[in-house]
Amino acid sequence: MLEVNSHKHLKKYYQNNLALWPHNLTLTRLISRSLSRKDNTFIQLSSDSKNFWWPGLLIPLCLHNNNIVLILSERQFRLLFEVELPKLKSSHLSFDYVEGIEFTPSDNKVWVLRYQDFILANEKDLLKNRQLIFPESEFISNELRESMSIKITPKDWEDLIVSHSHFEASIIEVHERLSLSLFSHSVSSDAVIRIDHRELLALKEILQDDLPAAMPWKRALNAVNSEWVTWAKLDHRKLSWDWYIQPLTPLQTLSGLLSKNTLLMLTNSGQSDSFFLDFNSKKFAFTVKVNLGNKFDQEPIPLFVPKRQPLPNTSHFYCHVLRQCQRLILGRIHPTIILVDDLQLRLQITSELAGEFGLRVVHETTDIEPNGIICCSCNWWILNQYNLPTPDQLIFPVIPLPILESPLIAAKVEMLKQQGRDWFREFLFPETLTILLKSLVIIRGKDVRVAILDGRMHCRSWGKLIFEALEPWVALERLLPY
């Protein structure tokens, strides 16, 4: 009955709201079935679903909300309460919910949690026998990692010394030794330098059985092991540093919870993505796996990837990138987005283009002119793309492979090497595909040009796999006057 009622309400909902994604009726029946049967369900949505899948999820939750937890990112949380729920209310649908962990909801209300609250609820053992729903679950590892991350500031060191004054000399010795090592190895004013996790274990050994009860030290000293990565971010101006601690495999930490509870996961990622590979490695079993939508039903992306482009490690690559960016920008009347993850290269390109195009060029800001040029990282664009007008084009000077200078990326690669696994094909390359596809979500079907100026697209065997992942697309062999 839940499937039938949800189907009827969705059809009525679309009398007042234009149906922009044709698979929502199927989606709402699949979700209704999962809720009523408590199946472990994995639903892969085509990239043209964008944010149009929300009614297909929410309407069954309005009709069946028994022991359900909806786990959302900050962006999803705002979208739910500012956009989707007002639409439901205008269609006379009631979404009974409780948000946050201040009040544990009764069985007949949906419990809406941000990821950070989800971690706290799990620590308090409040999630037993509940059905967990993760929209856009390809981001689950990153969201969990950020929510579980620990930051230790200079003030936290002072608090530790005050609370454990009988170990003051030893604590100060550890801090001074670390500070000397970090600043002697730094090469820039805002350097990020990896710290061996054994430094925390050494501190734990000094404190012996008198471990701190206050955060963040309690979590840091109890959690850290070889599956956590730690690094310092230096502030040369203040001669201080902050200590960051994050889990390499956050799914492992929650594997008990995820294996014992019923899961419903929606994703836009492919089965080759690192998220899917990571999830499979934990041997989570899904009763239902469904692909909704066909990517070849979408409008093709105009793709500019000229042959015979230089490789990034050649001496003339930088000049090639600048020349091509200038050619691509000329005559455009709407924004251009230039996506570079390497900070030094991004700032160089920003500076050079500002000399050519003036105040039109900005760095990672949404305050732009109508024909503005934004130089940014891929993650910045993914987070801010909904707050910007539709651009004329996206330009990737280099393929966005994860940067090995990042302590987190380096530690994950090191871990995979130690396990004898193919760290490129199991991690770096799938992450690259995820970044590329997420960067293109908002521009599908809007006649936005995409340019990739990296010779590896044609010169490396895995370049062909990128072309396949970007389908459907139509090749732009040459630049024509606008």
Q: What is the pLDDT of residue 452?
A: 96
175: tokens are 């801090």
Q: Do the first three CATH levels of 2-147+254-296 and 299-475 match, i.e. the same topology?
A: yes
**Mean residue pLDDT across the chain:** 86
For residue 124, pLDDT over 70 is answered with yes
Q: What is the pLDDT of residue 264?
A: 93
Domain 299-475: give its CATH architecture: 3-Layer(aba) Sandwich (3.40)
Q: Per-residue confidence at 117, pLDDT binned at 50, 70, 90?
A: very high
Provide CB contacts within 8 A for 131, sequence distance 6+: 35, 38, 67, 68, 69, 261, 262, 263, 264
Instruction: Give me the mean pLDDT over the 134-158 stretch.
Output: 90
Q: What digits encode the pLDDT tens for the residues 166-197?
A: 899 999 999 999 999 888 877 666 678 888 88
Q: What is the pLDDT of residue 276?
A: 58
From 54-58, 107-111, 118-122, the region with the lowest mean pLDDT: 107-111
> Is pLDDT larger for residue 273 or for residue 403?
403
Percent residues over pLDDT 70 in the chain: 92
Q: What is the pLDDT of residue 150?
A: 92
Instruction: Give me the mean pLDDT over the 331-353 stretch.
Output: 93
258: tokens are 């995820």
User: Is the Cβ–Cβ distance between 229 and 408 less than 8 Å?
Assistant: yes
For residue 226, pLDDT over 80 is answered with no
Q: What is the pLDDT of residue 438?
A: 85
What are 288's strand-pairing partners?
Answer: 41
What are 199's strand-pairing partners?
Answer: none
For residue 338, pLDDT over 80 is answered with yes
Q: What is the pLDDT of residue 105?
A: 67
Instruction: Give me the mean pLDDT over the 459-464 stretch.
Output: 93
- The domain segmentation of the chain, as residue ranges, is 2-147+254-296, 149-247, 299-475
Domain 2-147+254-296 class in CATH:
alpha beta
Percent residues over pLDDT 90 in the chain: 40
Beta strands 192-195; 473-475: pairing state: unpaired
For residue 274, pLDDT over 60 is answered with no
CA 156 to chain centre: 29
Most confident of 101-110, 369-378, 438-447: 369-378
Q: What is the pLDDT of residue 30?
A: 92
Q: For the chain, how are helix, strand and coil distributed in percent, rounded to 5?
A: 50, 15, 35
Q: What digits encode the pLDDT tens for the residues 257-269?
A: 888 889 999 987 6
Q: What is the pLDDT of residue 272?
A: 47
Q: What is the dihedral of CA 121, 122, 128, 134, to 10 degrees?
A: 90
For residue 295, pLDDT over 70 is answered with no
Q: What is the pLDDT of residue 326?
A: 93
Q: Cα-flanking dihedrals φ and ψ of residue 114, to 5°?
A: -70, 165
Q: Per-residue confidence at 482, pLDDT binned at 50, 70, 90?
A: very low
Q: What digits encode the pLDDT tens for the residues 43-67?
A: 988 777 777 889 899 989 988 877 8
DSSP 398: S
> CA–CA separation, 391 vs 109, rounded Å?
41
> CA–CA separation, 126 vs 293, rounded Å?
36
For residue 7, pLDDT over 80 is answered with no
Residue 14 burial (C-beta neighbours within 10 Å; 0-12, 13-18, 19+) = middle
